[in-house]
Amino acid sequence: MDFKFRTSCKHKSDEELMVLFARGKEKAFNEIYKRYSAKLFLFFYQKLYQDKDYAEDFLQNLFLKIIEKAHLFDTGKSFSSWIYTIAYNMCKNEYRKKVDVKEISLDIEELKHNLTFPSNLSNETDLTLFKKKLGIELNKLDEKHNLTFTLRYLDNLSIKEISEVMDCSEGTVKSRLFYTTKKLSKKLKNFKAIKI
Tens digits of residue pLDDT in 44-91: 888 887 788 888 999 999 998 888 888 888 888 888 888 988 998 888
Q: What are 149-192's pLDDT values in tens digits?
A: 888 877 778 888 888 888 888 888 888 888 888 887 777 776 65
In a shared domain, residues 110 and 37: no
Among the candidates 102, 137, 167, a domain finishes at: 102
In a shared domain, residues 76 and 153: no
Q: Give the total number of structural domains in the chain.
A: 2
Among the candidates 75, 102, 129, a domain finishes at: 102
In a shared domain, residues 3 and 91: yes
CB 174 within 8 A of CB 165: no
In a shared domain, residues 97 and 109: no
Among the candidates 102, 121, 143, a domain finishes at: 102
CB 166 within 8 A of CB 148: yes
Range of the domain at 14: 1-102
Q: What are 2-23's pLDDT values in tens digits?
A: 444 444 778 888 888 988 888 8
The DSSP string of 44-108 is HHHHTTT-HHHHHHHHHHHHHHHHHTGGG--TTS-HHHHHHHHHHHHHHHHHHH-SSPPPP---H
pLDDT at 34: 92
pLDDT at 3: 43
| Backbone CA torsion sign across 33, 67, 154, 139 | negative
Tell me how far apart the alpha carbons of residues 188 and 170 are, in angstroms, rounded to a whole number: 27
Q: Can you give the CATH number for the domain in which 16 is found?
A: 1.10.1740.10
CA atoms within 13 A on the CB side of 76: 0
CB 69 within 8 A of CB 61: no
